[in-house]
Amino acid sequence: MGDSAGGGLAVGLVQQVVRRSGPQPTHLVAFAPWVDLTGETPGTAEAAADDPWLTLGKLRLYGTWWGAGDPPAPEASPLTGDLSGLPPTLVLCGTRDLLVPQARALVRAAQQVGSPVTYVEEPGLLHVYPLLPIPEARRAWRQVRAFL
């Protein structure tokens, strides 16, 4: 489980673990996962215009840091990796989040390879809304508990 960069890290870690023998994850939960360090996912510029918190310029800059170069190393962006074999996955994101195009792309790509994904998108909500002190966050945590 993780949020934002931690959500992307959780997805990337699960991508690696499911390809190895040994204990396997039973579930994956990601709040607004940052899965494309380049910031080039279609729709990102439009989402940036509606996000009052995150900025595309900082996302791209941080992507070069996190991804060890400009452009970021491809393996640092879970969206470009193999999403087959993921455990049941829950992704939550608000529509006023710069990362909503990435969340949608992650869900589509995982579903295309047969990975079981549930997606919850909340209209008008901000980045990692389940962590904010708002009523919608309580609903999100109920969804997470039911999923797990």
Q: In angstroms, rounded to a whole number, what is the distance separating the alpha carbons of residues 97 and 136?
A: 15
Give the pLDDT means over successive 10-residue stretches in the chain (148 positions). 97 96 97 96 96 95 92 91 97 98 98 98 97 96 98
How many domains is the chain partitioned into structurally?
1
CATH number for the domain harbouring residue 112: 3.40.50.1820
Burial bucket for residue 58 (CB in 10 Å: 0-12, 13-18, 19+): exposed
pTM over 0.85: yes
The whole domain housing 30 covers: 2-147
pLDDT of residue 75: 87
pLDDT digits (tens, 9 = 90+) for 42-79: 999 999 999 999 999 999 999 999 998 888 888 899 99
